[in-house]
Chain A
């Protein structure tokens, strides 16, 4: 067998301020020429470190041991000059963040040409012409014109295509892709994965795909290696590992992945009945504009939606769809320029002072970023107690402490956590503290904007379970914003699909997602990869038949 990448007993240790951290221990794996190996794991598993080690791109404070061989060349002991000859020619890498991956001040054609000229003795004009050809190959429309564009003039998906163009410029035998689509919208993700697959098949390139997304694995990989805390716990063909996992961790991981139901009539999932109660929050023909003059952005255009007492409404859409803006309008953080917003039956725009405060005391908020959602200078107890200080000023210290402890237990956190600081907590714990803070006043409405998007899949499961449990117990309504259709399907009774600032369609979750009415929703659902390789292959063929939009 011809292996383009051979890793033998790799160990990587980082020396940090707080001591030596072993990130990777005794990892061995192999990528054959032309095959795709997916390296899966959650944060801290060491998968990205393995990817960087393959190209000798580990940071200065990393110490690598063991053997890494790319196309026959040993990487671990190689000098910088030798590695530079390897990178971009024998092996290339595509990174996660397209927004920062390119030099903002150099035109993209030049950046691609640079990679060409690093390894081949061609003139500047020839390299420029090649760059245009590569842009065409990765699906950038009007490549001659676009070659002189700056990165900031391109969308995220287009930038990632440019990075891919740079990676394939010299027809490498190995392509390492570290979460290449994580920062992209799901429809764009599907297109980029299609592109990578086509390129790999065309040139017989071996691919090491690092990801945490099981759906992507099912869509793309031939073989899978699962990593946990620096070690590989399971390896095998993709169907074997994903459908018949043997290791305990793999099983747990797969069980925690929210699965998008794509067939069936809609029984067995979704919490939250079709509530007929009073409306808790209602947006009517709301339009929002940011900025003025020719550069104004219409964030929302004639958006109407309602959340009734006790129900969960999922607000889904891709980036730029306006879903977060809509949530902020509901919270009173953004003032619409037209339309009305009512909270618990009262007009939010007209409410002022004490009346407004009283209204807002019935709302709990959980936002996306676990790091920024809690003020690190306050203890957990102080963070959770903040709504009490705003709305129940007369409350005594002892009573407050007791209430905080109760709420922490409600979100399945130990009482003792109250004394600690946010910096000592994990992401999942922080989001639960955020949740505790949101629930301490027993709100009638919980607004959650991507509350679990920044968390690992297993942790995400816990947090979502807690929210669902508490909702059943306390009966609050929930406006749940997410880009993850599977999560929304599991969680929300009704769903509102947004696109470009408008409501695309809305209705009961199961019927809307299983039998969508609009073209866009159909495409959106088709683009979400499911962690079942057999099923995913079928869906992919159907999706391609449906046709995709040009460019990304």
Chain B
């Protein structure tokens, strides 16, 4: 396996071959990767090939069953359901991705500082994390929904703020392990600074843990987005996401209009499942411990 330095940072620029091979052997993970790719194509490239009007209502086309004209039927205000699935998917995927990454970034910063500092700083920072974990996310989200209705950026921030706790624990654990590695001790013994130890040794070696955590966070975030619309915190009409579609179609379900809830429900399940499978595969390939 060859080591290639990328510029000043000395990081390994490519994914080494043995890692790729190990990932490829996990059929579930590979399937997950394919599913994720397909869904991204579906939501972003799909509307270019199959364009429908998702803004204006058409009350002449209300509640139609799936047919040749509308493959997945229409909803209560006349939107084409298949097109709505693509449209809502864009929001679900983007918000989920952004919130997941944000949560991982915050968690990494918090966890690495706590782990490296140790002592009472670590203790206090981790008590804050414990407190955050103790308050169930759904409850906080409901409270927030009672106070205000945020736009998409606000939603991303709120979801990120609710989810950074788990990655912070994982990164802290990794930092604690790396902090006492011989090469870090040697660096400190010859006069190397804390910042050098963190930026050149600890963070680069935490990359695998962080990447795995991020993948699981995205999976969780997409799921959380689905809950959020159900709770009434979601995006406003005519914009929508899969959770919103489920929420709107709930009453319809009881009267047998299955095409309004099965597609978005299945979409959520498949995408979240896929991200989880990829995360699982990455974790096994990297041989990282634990999932939050």
Contact = CB atoms under 8 A, between A and B. Distances in A.
B18 to A, nearest CB: 7
Interface in B1-21: 1-3, 5, 10-12, 18, 21
A377 B204 contact: yes
Interface stretch (B61-69, B184-192, B225-233): B184-192
A390 B190 contact: yes
B127 interface: no
Given A333-B185, A420-B3, A377 B191 contact: no
A382 B200 CA distance: 11
B11 to A, nearest CB: 7
A390 B11 contact: no
Contacts of B182: 367-369, 372-373
B204 A367 contact: no
A337 interface: no
B27 interface: no
Contacts of B5: 378-379, 382
Nearest to A360: B191
Contacts of A17: 18, 21-22
A367 B187 CA distance: 11
A390 B183 contact: no
A447 B193 CA distance: 20
A357 interface: yes
Nearest to A423: B1
A375 interface: yes
A363 B3 contact: no
A360 B189 contact: yes
Contacts of B188: 333
A453 B112 CA distance: 32
A304 to B, nearest CB: 21
Interface residues of A, number: 37
Contact of A377 (B10, B186, B192, B196): B10
A372 B181 CA distance: 6
A331 B183 contact: no
A367 B186 contact: yes
Contacts of A391: 190-191
A374 interface: yes
B186 A365 contact: yes
- Residue of B186, B187, B189, B196 most packed against chain A (CB within 10 A): B186
Which bracket fits the contact residues of B?
A: 20 to 34
A230 interface: no
B185 A367 contact: yes
Interface in A349-401: 356-361, 363-365, 367-369, 372-375, 377-379, 382-383, 386-387, 390-391
Contacts of B192: 386, 390
A360 B18 contact: no
A373 B190 contact: no
Contacts of A71: none
Interface in B181-239: 181-183, 185-193, 196, 200-201, 204-205
Contact of A375 (B1, B191, B201): B201
A311 B183 CA distance: 26
A373 B1 contact: no
B187 to A, nearest CB: 7
A421 interface: yes
A160 B2 CA distance: 42
Nearest to B202: A375
B262 to A, nearest CB: 42
A368 B189 CA distance: 15
Interface in A110-136: none
A383 to B, nearest CB: 8
Contacts of A333: 185, 188-189
B259 to A, nearest CB: 47
A319 B201 CA distance: 29
Nearest to B196: A390
A387 B187 CA distance: 8
A376 to B, nearest CB: 8
A67 interface: no
A332 B191 CA distance: 9
A424 B18 CA distance: 14
Contact of B205 (A365, A375, A437): A375
Contacts of A358: 191
Interface in A437-461: 437, 441, 447
A377 B205 contact: yes
A363 B190 contact: yes
A67 B121 CA distance: 62
B3 A421 contact: yes
A437 B186 CA distance: 10
Interface string A320-337: 000000000001110000
A387 B192 CA distance: 8
B185 A360 contact: no
Given A333-B185, A375-B183, A365 B190 contact: yes
Nearest to B205: A377
Contacts of A368: 182
A372 B184 CA distance: 9
A349 to B, nearest CB: 15
B187 A386 contact: yes
B237 to A, nearest CB: 49
Interface in A6-34: 17
Contacts of B183: 372-375, 383
A332 B22 CA distance: 42
Given A17-B18, A372-B183, A423-B1, A378 B191 contact: no
Nearest to B2: A421
Contact of B3 (A357, A373, A379): A379
A17 B19 CA distance: 11
Nearest to A440: B190
A375 B5 CA distance: 13
Contacts of A374: 183
A501 B11 CA distance: 41
A333 B182 CA distance: 12
A358 B190 CA distance: 9
A194 to B, nearest CB: 35
Nearest to A364: B190
Contacts of A332: 189
Nearest to B11: A377
A47 B185 CA distance: 34
Given A333-B188, A423-B1, 17 more contacts: A17-B21, A333-B189, A356-B191, A361-B190, A365-B189, A372-B182, A375-B200, A377-B11, A377-B12, A377-B204, A378-B10, A386-B187, A390-B192, A390-B196, A421-B1, A434-B186, A437-B186
23 contacts: A17-B21, A17-B22, A333-B185, A358-B191, A360-B191, A365-B189, A365-B190, A367-B186, A372-B182, A373-B183, A373-B186, A375-B181, A375-B183, A377-B204, A378-B3, A379-B5, A390-B187, A390-B190, A421-B1, A434-B186, A437-B186, A441-B190, A447-B189
Question: Closest 9 interchain pairs by CB?
Answer: A360-B191, A421-B3, A357-B191, A372-B182, A331-B189, A367-B182, A373-B182, A375-B183, A365-B189
Interface of B: 1-3, 5, 10-12, 18, 21-22, 181-183, 185-193, 196, 200-201, 204-205
